[in-house]
Amino acid sequence: MIESIAIVGATGAVGRIIRQLLEERDFPYGKITFLASKRSAGTTITFKGEEHEVKLLCPEVFDDIDLAIGSTPDDVAAEFCPWAAERDCVVVDESGYWRMDPKVPLVVPEINPEAAAQHQGIISSPNCSTTQMVLAMKPLHDAGKIRRVIVSTYQATSGAGVQGQADLLDGSRAFLDDHKYDYQAFSHRIAFNLIPQIGSHKEDGYTSEEMKMVYETQKIFGDDSIKVCPTCVRVPVENCHSESMLVETEKKITVEQARELFAATPGIEVVDDLGNGLYPMPSICTGDDRTFIGRIREDLSCDNGLAFWCVSDNLRKGAATNAVQIAELLAT
């Protein structure tokens, strides 16, 4: 059992789910501390039926904490993770700041749990769109070695935080009422619209979100030969990211084999009956820790290709659940 655990960013959207998961999964700990910025410090939250005061995030607070799970903006993670590591507190970090640092393991427990043991005080959890993609790739890569992936994401507004969800709901009402609405999380109207840019412009016409999917995938699998061509799109859906994936393997994998491989993989649920209109959709996948796969079919454009549809709750497996699973690796 871990003697002392902390949740950094405990009052945020992902922080709330981390608290819920720790309670549901009966995570073993002796003492728990909830940390946040000045804006939320001093407020109280209820955990396991008890009231806890949220403490201010500062270096000294980590003096008696063994493990911290952090869900904060990148600039906050850049500052607090070294504070914790210097005080022998291991951090499972949800931000994007440390993911590509060569000294920091990037972990999805169903794929590379052994990497967590190589930490030097910080362990990163991948980007939400990467997490569900690599989980779907894992059984196919093991069976037939993946050459390349072409992926288009349909990312929910919850990926932009609480304000993103507010922009969708309030912006939709304003649009229907023909009123002006000042969007805060998005640079374009999200109501009844698609925005084919998530993140900043990076290299060769790709965005930062798209390049995360490339580099994080290669790091998680430890294989730079895997080619990834991503297009990331923000869609007017409140929660759950969806992905259309085309995977090309060195060894041919049939649809029947793929379905069996997916079904045998922990964390994956196959929902694939096109004739009866059964396939994963955000409306039925939200609030679930599993990654759902359907519409499995052979690619008509190459010999060793499989196309399929993948949906996962980006606040759970894409964020909070994966972080808690990493923490569980450390607690065993």
Q: What is the domain partition of the chain in residue ranges?
A: 2-126+319-331, 130-314
C-alpha span between 162 and 170 (Å, rounded): 12
pLDDT score for 82: 97
Per-residue pLDDT of the chain (332 residues; tens, 9 = 90+): 789 999 999 998 899 999 999 999 999 999 999 999 888 899 999 999 999 999 999 999 999 999 999 999 999 999 999 999 999 999 999 999 999 999 999 999 999 999 999 999 999 999 999 999 999 999 999 999 999 999 999 999 999 999 999 999 999 999 999 999 999 999 999 999 999 999 999 889 999 999 999 999 999 999 999 999 999 999 999 999 999 999 999 999 999 999 999 999 999 999 999 999 999 999 999 999 999 999 999 999 999 999 999 999 999 999 999 999 999 999 97
Kindly report the number of other CB atoms within 10 A of residue 24's CB atom. 11
Query: pLDDT value at position 39?
Result: 87
- Measure the CA–CA gap between 195 and 236, rounded to whole angstroms: 9
Are 268 and 247 spatial neighbours (Cβ–Cβ below 8 Å)?
Answer: no
**What b/e sequence results for 271-284 when a residue is b if at least 16 CB atoms lie within 10 Å of its CB, and e otherwise?**
bbeeeeeebbbbee
The catalytic residues are 128, 241
Answer for the pair 39, 10: CB distance below 8 angstroms, yes or no: no
Res 256: pLDDT: 98
Using an 8 Å Cβ cutoff, are 213 and 136 in contact? no
Report which of 9, 161, 159 is spatially closest to residue 76, judged by C-alpha positions: 9
Q: What is the distance between the alpha carbons of residues 125 and 252, in angstroms, rounded to a whole number?
A: 31
pLDDT of residue 203: 85
**Would you state the pLDDT for residue 209?**
97
Give the domain 2-126+319-331 fold: Rossmann fold (3.40.50)
User: Would you say 261 and 181 are in contact if contact means Cβ atoms under 8 Å apart?
Assistant: no
Equal CATH topology for 2-126+319-331 and 130-314: no
Neighbours of 142 (CB within 10 A): 12
Look at domain 130-314 and name its CATH class. alpha beta
pTM, 2 dp: 0.95
Place of tokens 């009866």: 276
